[in-house]
Chains A and B, each alone.
Chain A
Amino acid sequence: MRELELYFGPQHVGMVGNFGIILNVEGDTVVKARSNPGYLHRGFEKLMEYRSYIQNFPLVCRINVMDPDPNEMLYAMAVEDLAGLEVPPRGHYIRSIVLEMSRISSHLFWIWGFGNLLGFDTIGQWAMGDRDYFLDLFEELCGGRVYHIYIWPGGVRRDLPPGFADRLCAACDHLEEKISDYDDLFFNNRIFAERTQGVAPLTREQAISLGITGTNLRATGAGYDVRKDEPYAAYSEFKFDVPVMEDGDSYSRAIVIRLELEQSISIIRQAIAQLPDGPAWNKVPNPFKWNINPGETYVKIESSRGEEGVYMVSDGSNKPYRVYFRTPSYPTGMLVLERLLQGASVSDVGHIMMSLNIAAPEIDR
């Protein structure tokens, strides 16, 4: 049979960000796949070398549109580490709340994409609608729905507005109610299961050797989560489970994400209940005269997609000498996706890509 070269994206309904896959297909079967993230080069890491420490803070959230807060968190943690800044306890708790809100809205966004690519439009609409309740809360908290620009060195940028905790609890209650409908409609649906079980399986050994983390790794049976293993923010104060599935296939990856929603809700509730009083931010030095002592650091956290890290080098000036983002979508998008697509059916390409929860902007920073 003749081999065809087929362009999947960068303008494709299933693509999150301008990310493309070049497929070689024989009939309906993918023979070879090559990831092509070259449409998204925004040069954040380079740009950050030219901006002062505080000027970089509104920039980093843009590295992942769906899940912006972990980027802000990492940047803040790296600067705090190099500058020796302390974060007040309330700041840590609010950061945890915001990070979990971000995880929930990112996972809901993922349900939308995944549902769509499998042809389940209703679940997609529901998830997108319910995500909006969290975006409303973000807007209330920090004045922006998508780019929150909220977690900054020293803590967070503003304290919670009055009544925020109650409204956040209400949104969590609502989501929890809706999740049982999600299950009936989608996750316990036989069509969904038959479409995804056994598709694009990844073994634990493969995942570990390729540097896969997050939900994709936990779907292969490895219970690794930075929040548990090396807690940051206030995560050591909360009780939560790390959902794990064994099979490593598209289905397992989806179920892990679905189960994490409940854990995030639980973490938010615990954080609100234990929220300490006091300031939420320790003042940083005058931004125009803020030189950070020479040094280097690597900090990492668990974003909605896996282990994300920042390596930052300071040469003693008011700008970072180098900032490097280790993003979980890089190995999934560049290494795993190409392998998993080999031999897959063309009709599965979209949902395999989506099941890996790749954020294209994370790949080329």
Chain B
Amino acid sequence: MIREKKSLFGPFVALKYLFQKPHTFRFPFEQKPTASRYRGLHINEREKCTGCGNCADICPNQAIRMIEVPEIKPEPGKKNELPQIDYGRCCFCGLCVDICPPGSLSLARDYIHIDHATDSFLYMPDSEKSGDQAFVPASEYSIMKASINHRQAANPGFVYDEDYSLVDFDRVPMPVMKPEERRTSFLEMVQGYAEEEARKEASRCLECALCEEACPANMGISRYVRAIWDADYGEAARVIYETNPLPSICGRICTHRCEEACSIGKRGEPVSIRWLKRFAMDQVSLEDYKKVLGTESLEEKDIKKVAIVGAGPAGLSCAYFLALMGHKSTIFESRSKPGGIPRYGVPEYRMPYDMLDKDIEYIKSLGVEIRCNTRVGRDITLDELHRDYAAVFIATGLHMGRSTRVEGTDHPKVFQALNLLGDITEGKEIMVGKKIVVIGGGNVAMDIARSMARLQMKKYGQVNLTACCLESEDIMPADREEIDESREEGIVIYPARGPDRIEIESGEIKGLHTVECTSVFDEEGRFNPKFNKEDKMFLEGDMIIEAIGQGPDMSFIPEELDEKIEKAGRRIKVDEFFQSSVPWLFFGGDIIQGPDVIHAIVNGHEAAKGIDAYIQGGKRS
């Protein structure tokens, strides 16, 4: 109350405080505990830290530097770098905590650091786990000793909070055809992002480039994702084509190791890199490729031509990069169309043929000749290729289905998945059983199961298809989404079940006897399945499809040549440029590394460099 009439005696009220206990702390003998959200010195849980460097990028004072730590082994999704904080610059704002994708960085309630050495104010924070000597129990903590080497244990202050994180953990949902619709259709089920969705998804990328290190091709992912965000799709295409000449294929069926490494994926959904690549390439029409990619006129070196065996991703990639280097090449393909496994092994609902053709047409437009229906070994011999071409790149892939060899697999209604998938592509009339059993838990098994389920829907109006595999649900080799989508489409999957024998009654298949598989690999990690024969299950079916893996068919190589080719185990030995011990012979693709499309592309690229050097006389560029 402010009174008009002022007093001289009012002030004596202060005397009452003479006898009250003061509320101040007698520092340093009494310590005032900091609040539970205090923003003090940094803590970094080194085992969680991915070294992505986003903390350093966001720091307004450039107080954070990423320092290489040789002791840490880099792996996909983890760099061998840790943040170092300069406390001469740090303003304790905590933006580094709010941007940290794995949530390893936090600020402690410790804030006092006393040391005569000024360089101790520049240090790499750790956590109680990785720096247990520095952290002392609260009872032993003394403010007189307070320093970076003497910190209170279990004392985190300002920690990450997912609801208030600057990282966007949620992916823009990809429009996908509903299970009811896609069950009867081979149309592409993943419908692709609209422009706005793609740009929003691209905006989530923090550009830490963990993905680029994980990608076998080391694609410039953060650059093309940024270009998509900028709506500069030509630039995105240019960045993509630096390392990957089959982006419309990769944008659909790549095994996307990049997304597994994405730092946002540590606590949320990784950036949808694969779909973004697809989106970017869908924005550029084939007619514009040469203009956008700057390949309207290519330099031509007047040297001998290169033969490539197999028009799959490795062969196409090799031909593309050879064309850029000025070499003419001819691809020999035994099938009627180029494309290899992406065409003949991947169902159309995942890999539409027109998109495949788009990538291939562009490569052809650069002067690459593709001779289809030409099987090396039958229509033309390897010796002839050696005679007419400077070098030969062999990328024939894996297309011989392996058999479980259980009793009954010699029955004519036991099929190999890859053969059936190829027949479906070619439009051949194939047997569609009423009840089908698929053996295998990989992506090929899911592909054939889902293709057959579609055909069953078309023919019988219902799906009656079971799949079994040795692996238990958690270690099934197929992608999670493939497994989930298969189930949505009505396929019943029995994991951890091994085939025992096929029941055949009066010449017709009745079904598959299975037993429980208790473990697939032994202690040393080798394939050595163990079964519990007591636990039996009979899967009814009139058609059985094996999809347990594929092997190469190298019978086209003449014996005397085969003897000269050095092997490492069962595989052909090649150097880093995929050159074998026979100098004019290069090998790549699934027969060497993989099986997957991105490794094939990388192999093709490296082989092209090796071939270029070989035919120019040993110099490698």
Chain A residues in the interface with B (C-beta under 8 A): 51, 54-59, 122, 129, 136, 139-144, 147, 149, 157-159, 161, 180-181, 183-194, 255, 258-259, 279, 281, 283-289
Question: Given A286-B168, A288-B207 in contact, is the A189-B226 Cβ separation under 8 Å?
Answer: no
Is B204 close to A, CB under 8 A?
yes
A51 neighbours in B (Cβ, 8 Å): 60
Select which of A54, A158, A288 is within 8 A of B206 by beta carbon. Answer: A288
8 additional A-B residue pairs with CB within 8 Å, beyond A143-B37, A143-B157: A54-B166, A57-B95, A139-B34, A144-B92, A189-B11, A190-B6, A286-B204, A287-B166
Is B57 close to A, CB under 8 A?
yes
Select which of A58, A136, A285 is within 8 A of B95 by beta carbon. Answer: A58
| B9 nearest in chain A by CB position | A184
Establish whether residues A190 and B94, one from each chain, have CB atoms under 8 Å apart when the complex forms: no
| B3 nearest in chain A by CB position | A188
A185 neighbours in B (Cβ, 8 Å): 10-11, 13-14
Question: Given A143-B37, A288-B207 in contact, is the A158-B161 Cβ separation under 8 Å?
Answer: yes
B438 to chain A, nearest CB (A): 42
A266 to chain B, nearest CB (A): 15
Is B349 close to A, CB under 8 A?
no
Q: Which of B192-250 contact A (CB under 8 A)?
A: 202-207, 226, 229
Is B139 close to A, CB under 8 A?
no
Is B58 close to A, CB under 8 A?
yes
A157 neighbours in B (Cβ, 8 Å): 98, 164
Establish whether residues B10 and A139, one from each chain, have CB atoms under 8 Å apart when the complex forms: no
B161 neighbours in A (Cβ, 8 Å): 158
Is B430 close to A, CB under 8 A?
no
Is B1 close to A, CB under 8 A?
yes
Is B158 close to A, CB under 8 A?
yes
24 A-B contact pairs sorted by A residue (CB < 8 Å)? A51-B60, A54-B58, A55-B58, A55-B95, A57-B93, A58-B60, A129-B24, A140-B35, A142-B37, A143-B39, A143-B92, A144-B39, A149-B94, A158-B161, A183-B2, A183-B3, A184-B11, A187-B2, A189-B11, A190-B6, A286-B204, A286-B206, A287-B166, A289-B229
B337 to chain A, nearest CB (A): 41
Is B616 close to A, CB under 8 A?
no
A54 neighbours in B (Cβ, 8 Å): 58, 95, 166
A180 neighbours in B (Cβ, 8 Å): 1
Select which of B10, B202, B203 is within 8 A of A184 by beta carbon. Answer: B10
Is B528 close to A, CB under 8 A?
no
Establish whether residues B203 and A285, one from each chain, have CB atoms under 8 Å apart when the complex forms: yes
Binary per-residue interface labels of chain B (141-160) against chain A in the complex, 1 for a CB within 8 Å, 0 otherwise: 00000000000000001100
B164 neighbours in A (Cβ, 8 Å): 157-158, 281
CA gap between A255 and B202 in the complex, in Å:
56
Instruction: Kindly name the residue among B60, B99, B207 whose own CB sees the greatest number of chain A CB atoms within 10 A.
Output: B60
Is B23 close to A, CB under 8 A?
yes
Select which of B2, B11, B91, B203 is within 8 A of A255 by beta carbon. Answer: B2
B163 to chain A, nearest CB (A): 7
Establish whether residues B203 and A289, one from each chain, have CB atoms under 8 Å apart when the complex forms: yes
A122 neighbours in B (Cβ, 8 Å): 11, 14
A interface, by DSSP: helix, strand, loop or mixed? helix
B251 to chain A, nearest CB (A): 21
Chain B residues in the interface with A (C-beta under 8 A): 1-3, 6-8, 10-11, 13-14, 23-24, 34-39, 54, 57-58, 60, 91-95, 98-99, 107, 157-158, 161, 163-164, 166-168, 202-207, 226, 229
B266 to chain A, nearest CB (A): 16
Establish whether residues A287 and B1, one from each chain, have CB atoms under 8 Å apart when the complex forms: no
Establish whether residues A59 and B60, one from each chain, have CB atoms under 8 Å apart when the complex forms: yes
Instruction: Kindly name the residue among B36, B39, B58, B161 whose own CB sees the greatest number of chain A CB atoms within 10 A.
Output: B39
CA gap between A184 and B39 in the complex, in Å:
39
Question: Given A58-B60, A190-B8, A255-B2 in contact, is the A181-B13 Cβ separation under 8 Å?
Answer: yes
Establish whether residues B10 and A188, one from each chain, have CB atoms under 8 Å apart when the complex forms: yes
CA gap between A144 and B163 in the complex, in Å:
20
Establish whether residues A161 and B37, one from each chain, have CB atoms under 8 Å apart when the complex forms: yes
CA gap between A161 and B157 in the complex, in Å:
12
Establish whether residues B10 and A189, one from each chain, have CB atoms under 8 Å apart when the complex forms: yes
Establish whether residues A286 and B38, one from each chain, have CB atoms under 8 Å apart when the complex forms: no
CA gap between A183 and B1 in the complex, in Å:
7
B101 to chain A, nearest CB (A): 11
CA gap between A285 and B38 in the complex, in Å:
26
B interface, by DSSP: helix, strand, loop or mixed? loop
A11 to chain B, nearest CB (A): 25
Instruction: Kindly name the residue among A122, A139, A188, A289 whose own CB sees the greatest number of chain B CB atoms within 10 A.
Output: A289
CA gap between A171 and B14 in the complex, in Å:
20
CA gap between A192 and B158 in the complex, in Å:
44
| B229 nearest in chain A by CB position | A289
Establish whether residues A287 and B99, one from each chain, have CB atoms under 8 Å apart when the complex forms: yes
A279 neighbours in B (Cβ, 8 Å): 163
CA gap between A216 and B168 in the complex, in Å:
45
CA gap between A147 and B167 in the complex, in Å:
24
Establish whether residues B6 and A188, one from each chain, have CB atoms under 8 Å apart when the complex forms: yes
Establish whether residues B10 and A193, one from each chain, have CB atoms under 8 Å apart when the complex forms: no
CA gap between A157 and B13 in the complex, in Å:
42
Question: Given A143-B37, A189-B11 in contact, is the A286-B6 Cβ separation under 8 Å?
Answer: no
Establish whether residues A181 and B37, one from each chain, have CB atoms under 8 Å apart when the complex forms: no
A115 to chain B, nearest CB (A): 12
Question: Given A55-B95, A59-B60 in contact, is the A181-B14 Cβ separation under 8 Å?
Answer: yes
| B222 nearest in chain A by CB position | A288
Establish whether residues A189 and B6, one from each chain, have CB atoms under 8 Å apart when the complex forms: yes
CA gap between A258 and B107 in the complex, in Å:
38
CA gap between A288 and B24 in the complex, in Å:
44
CA gap between A106 and B94 in the complex, in Å:
24
CA gap between A190 and B8 in the complex, in Å:
6
CA gap between A186 and B10 in the complex, in Å:
8
A140 to chain B, nearest CB (A): 4
| A283 nearest in chain B by CB position | B168
CA gap between A158 and B14 in the complex, in Å:
39
| B92 nearest in chain A by CB position | A144
Q: Which 5 A-B pairs have the closest CB atoms?
A: A58-B93, A143-B39, A184-B10, A190-B6, A55-B60
CA gap between A141 and B166 in the complex, in Å:
19
CA gap between A285 and B205 in the complex, in Å:
11
Establish whether residues B57 and A288, one from each chain, have CB atoms under 8 Å apart when the complex forms: yes
CA gap between A283 and B165 in the complex, in Å:
8
B93 neighbours in A (Cβ, 8 Å): 57-58, 147, 149
Establish whether residues B7 and A143, one from each chain, have CB atoms under 8 Å apart when the complex forms: no
CA gap between A286 and B222 in the complex, in Å:
14
Establish whether residues B229 and A140, one from each chain, have CB atoms under 8 Å apart when the complex forms: no
A364 to chain B, nearest CB (A): 20
A289 neighbours in B (Cβ, 8 Å): 202-203, 205, 226, 229
CA gap between A122 and B11 in the complex, in Å:
10
CA gap between A187 and B34 in the complex, in Å:
34
Instruction: Kindly name the residue among A55, A143, A192, A194 whose own CB sees the greatest number of chain B CB atoms within 10 A.
Output: A143
CA gap between A141 and B98 in the complex, in Å:
16
Establish whether residues B8 and A161, one from each chain, have CB atoms under 8 Å apart when the complex forms: no
B163 neighbours in A (Cβ, 8 Å): 159, 279, 281
B2 neighbours in A (Cβ, 8 Å): 183, 187-188, 255, 258-259
A187 neighbours in B (Cβ, 8 Å): 2
Question: Given A181-B13, A286-B206 in contact, is the A129-B6 Cβ separation under 8 Å?
Answer: no
Establish whether residues A284 and B37, one from each chain, have CB atoms under 8 Å apart when the complex forms: no
CA gap between A59 and B38 in the complex, in Å:
18
A134 to chain B, nearest CB (A): 13
B95 neighbours in A (Cβ, 8 Å): 54-55, 57-58
CA gap between A147 and B92 in the complex, in Å:
9
Question: Given A143-B39, A143-B158, A286-B204 in contact, is the A183-B34 Cβ separation under 8 Å?
Answer: no
CA gap between A236 and B23 in the complex, in Å:
37
| A155 nearest in chain B by CB position | B164
CA gap between A190 and B60 in the complex, in Å:
51
CA gap between A151 and B99 in the complex, in Å:
17
Establish whether residues A129 and B168, one from each chain, have CB atoms under 8 Å apart when the complex forms: no
B167 neighbours in A (Cβ, 8 Å): 286
CA gap between A287 and B167 in the complex, in Å:
8
Question: Given A58-B95, A149-B94, A289-B205 in contact, is the A129-B23 Cβ separation under 8 Å?
Answer: yes
